[in-house]
Structure 1
Amino acid sequence: MKITKLVPMLFLVAMSACDSGSDRKTTLDGHWKLINVKGGISGSDFDFPPGLITYNFDTATNTVEVTNNNTNDAAEDMLPSGSYTYSIQENTTTPQLCEENFFIDEVNFGCYNLGSNQLTFGQVEADGYLITLVR
């Protein structure tokens, strides 16, 4: 009798000890750090220390708060500090590399790829920039 009660109890304890990080939902919401901007007609490639430029997305209000502490005017850092609206819209660009594009204040940042720890925007089909952010 004790064993039949012990087995379910051990199962519950074992399951509660599992890494909850693997269950983390992939979401745009929250803080992201801009770490790289590359591309453009000149083929620029700029790395930024994580935390120098942050994007805080709020999916409830479709806004992003950018905090840009970059002082290097030669580095393409995309957006100055401020609050912006964002939207995801159907991609009408040809050739079409993705179904939807990401817009910030109605500026097309191109295709986007959202992972649990990395977010990228890119307009590579139009000699645009590839922008990489991490959690």
Structure 2
Amino acid sequence: MKTYLENIKTKYFTIVIMFLFFSNCTNTTPLEGETQKPTITQWHLVNVSGGISGVNIDFELGTIIWIFDINPNNYTDLLYVENNNEDDTIEDGLDHGPYPTSTTIAGDKIFLFVDSEEYGEFIYSNDDKLVINQNNRSNGEQGSDGYIYTFERMVVPLE
């Protein structure tokens, strides 16, 4: 059982990690005479693989977009999903709409929860890729019929 201090450290670490990974605003210094335009970070679903039937589906950029709105001040983290896939026969993750999210750390891994349900291991790489692997669970169990969602990061200006 974790002590109170360990729980505080875990929550703080999770907030910092999520803020670094999914901050919607970029902070670049504009050149002299330029004004800085606000931007937003979008995660575009580019591939879904796995599942019981062993799917391997590629999506065009812009078909399914996830935007994380992480607010470390009041713990109201949301995920906005824009799902423009019209083919209901293929796996594409979450439907269009907002979802409350949270994360937890188990060992050295981060796990995403959507609507209070564990969604999978959260793997971010430095090459602007995000993978959510539903075969890895925070309790250490390994599955073989979960989906693996691969996203590409895009930073776009707000209009």
Q: Same fold (TM over 0.5)?
A: yes
Aligned to 2:129: 118
Which of 81, 93, 101 does residue 86 from structure 1 map onto?
101
AA matched with 2:88: D
Aligned to 1:107: 117
Question: What do you get for the CA RMSD once the two structures are aligned?
Answer: 2.0
- Runs of 4+ more than 4 Å apart: none
Aligned to 1:27: 21
AA matched with 1:134: E
* Residues 37 and 47 in structure 1, CA contact (< 8 A), matched pair in contact too: yes
* Superimposed CA distance per residue, residues 32-73 of structure 1 (whole angstroms, 9 cap, x where no aligned partner): 101111111111111110111000111113111100000111
Separation (CA, whole Å) in 1 of partners of 2:68 and 2:61: 16
| TM-score normalised according to structure 1 size | 0.70
1:129 aligns to 2:147 (yes or no): yes
AA matched with 2:109: E
* Superimposed CA distance per residue, residues 63-119 of structure 1 (whole angstroms, 9 cap, x where no aligned partner): 11100000111110111110001111244xxxx8x6331111122221111124111
Which protein has the larger Cα radius of gyration, Structure 1 or Structure 2?
A: 1
Q: Which runs of 5+ in 2 are unaligned?
A: 1-18, 24-40, 136-141, 154-159
1:76 aligns to 2:91 (yes or no): yes
Which of 40, 56, 60 does residue 51 from structure 2 map onto?
40
Q: Which runs of 5+ in 1 are unaligned?
A: 1-24
Q: CA deviation at 1:26?
A: 5.2
* Residues 32 and 133 in structure 1, CA contact (< 8 A), matched pair in contact too: yes
Identity %: 35
* Residues 110 and 123 in structure 2, CA contact (< 8 A), matched pair in contact too: no
AA matched with 1:31: Q
Separation (CA, whole Å) in 1 of partners of 2:65 and 2:151: 9
* Residues 109 and 122 in structure 2, CA contact (< 8 A), matched pair in contact too: no
* Residues 113 and 119 in structure 1, CA contact (< 8 A), matched pair in contact too: yes
AA matched with 1:44: V
| TM-score normalised according to structure 2 size | 0.61
Separation (CA, whole Å) in 1 of partners of 2:83 and 2:109: 30
